[in-house]
Structure 1
């Protein structure tokens, strides 16, 4: 896939929607990713592959554009939710009923709305800070999907999940993912994929991913974090043999049916937020 380019200018709902789609596709194309779908294999997922996920990303592009336009129009959270529900319906139609990107619809969708809001009103700060100040209280207090995996995990493990992350302005995005992308580019300046792998490992090590909790419980989350920490401590993508070590971790995740889906969403969102940098 070609390198991501910041929409020029960083405005226009369609350009924002296309950039969001491209970031999802770039995350899908990355390998190795512990337990996650890539063009190489389906990871720990029996119901999806890279082709299905790419169809999902393409189907979501017009809805990301609509969310950007809604943000530019000053829409409240209720209006964004309505578009998000329509996006989920389109995703399910494109994938034959497989939940490929529900988390990304929420997180990436909010960033698109914030990008649209900034383009219209010139709001300062990060896209995450716009989300927090503009829609944060409504995100935190809004309706909860009673049957979602994230809700079940939040009840059982008192995990904050995507809602808490968004309401706080996506701290994992700005304190973990974006700095890790920059560090990965320093470690492997000629390998953009390596930088993405490094950022994903940093996210797995530092984020309480509700997908990991749902699939593996507390023990699964601890195992995942330990594996990611070890990869980083051994030099990450800056050392010879990093790809073989990454593949071995991926295979261990698959054997345990673990998948860091929340971290994958955050990686795609970090690629998008990185386009917003001056």
Structure 2
């Protein structure tokens, strides 16, 4: 998708933003080897997911992201009307995703995170990463009065363990991305790790600190500790580009698979990280 944008610089902003959002989801899915997540090797801890399904789901969300960018441009400011328009579009996007995947939840969390960031970018595409995240956070602080009153796995886990869920992460301006993922991505690049290893390191930096509700739902506090400690061990050993780090990464993958603990929340935030990073290509 990035190459497509480069060949079509005159596309409307809303289409370029939708391209970048889909590209971020596909790049996150393709990145390998990710611990216990869907990648080029297989479904990780997910028996109902595979790479082709992740690609199809991402592509099915293009109209959703375009519509969110258009809504931001139409409303022109942050407020209740924009928040509720994004909520409605997000629910329509989720329905399209589920129709494509035959009911499998592939990108529900990513619709939330990337939808906010797409809308924020449509309002002011040339801003810094921190300004973009702050604008997305301001949108997230509004309640969607039309949202169905359902109790998601993430919300239940957040209450049970007293941790931040996806909603709170967005309302705080995506600290896992701004304070950990993006800095690690840039640091690994500057150290010559190579793009794929730099992206793996960014994922690990997010995993090292995030209270991932997907992991907590599947494996409780034991799984969360395994994820965070294992991710820190990979980075401390030299990251994904080092032999010692790669050995630690394989051990982390095996441990999380044994626990059936998939860091899906971290994967969604890596996609957000890659989207923000790609905005320089606009």
Q: With structure 1 as the length reference, what TM-score do the two structures score?
A: 0.90
- Cα distance in 1 between the residues matched to 2:220 and 2:148: 21
- Which residue of 188, 202, 205 corresponds with 1:202? 205
Of 182, 185, 188 in structure 1, the residue corresponding to residue 186 of structure 2 is 182
Aligned to 1:225: 228
Alignment of 1:32-71 (within 5 A): 32-71=33-72
> What are the ranges of 5 or more consecutive residues in structure 1 without an aligned counterpart?
none
Report the counterpart of residue 24 of structure 1 in structure 2.
25
- 1:112 is matched with 118
Q: For residue 100 of structure 1, what is the aligned residue in structure 2?
A: 106
Whether contact under 8 Å (1:4, 1:23) holds in the other structure is: no
Residues 1:275 and 1:139: Cα distance change in structure 2 (over 3 Å): farther
Measured in 2, the distance between the counterparts of 1:137 and 1:247 equals 39
Q: Determine the C-alpha separation between the residues in 1 that align with 2:134 and 2:34.
A: 29
1:263 aligns with 2:266: yes
Distance in 1, Cα, partners of 2:91 & 2:191:
40
Residue 12 of structure 1, CA deviation: 1.3
5+ residue gaps, structure 2, are 76-80
Q: CA offsets per residue over residues 166-214 of structure 1, 9 Å max, x none?
A: 112212111111101112212344x211011101111110111111111
Task: Tell me by how many angstroms 1:262 deviates.
Answer: 0.6
TM-aligned CA distance change 1:130 to 1:2, over 3 Å: closer
Cα displacement (A) at 1:277: 4.5
1:240 maps to 2:246: no
Q: Given that residues 103 and 262 in structure 1 are in contact (C-alpha distance below 8 angstroms), is that contact kept between their aligned partners in structure 2? A: yes
Q: CA deviation at 1:13?
A: 0.7
Structure with higher RCO (Cα < 8 A, 6+ apart):
1
**Matched pairs, number:** 274
Offset of residue 10 of structure 1 = 9.7
User: Following TM superposition, by how much is the alpha carbon of 1:56 offset from its aligned partner in structure 2, in angstroms?
Assistant: 0.3
Contact 2:22 2:61 in 1 (8 A): yes
Q: CA RMSD in A?
A: 2.5
Q: Is the 8 A contact 2:5 2:16 kept in 1?
A: no
| SS of corresponding position for 1:62 | helix
TM-score normalized with structure 2 length: 0.89
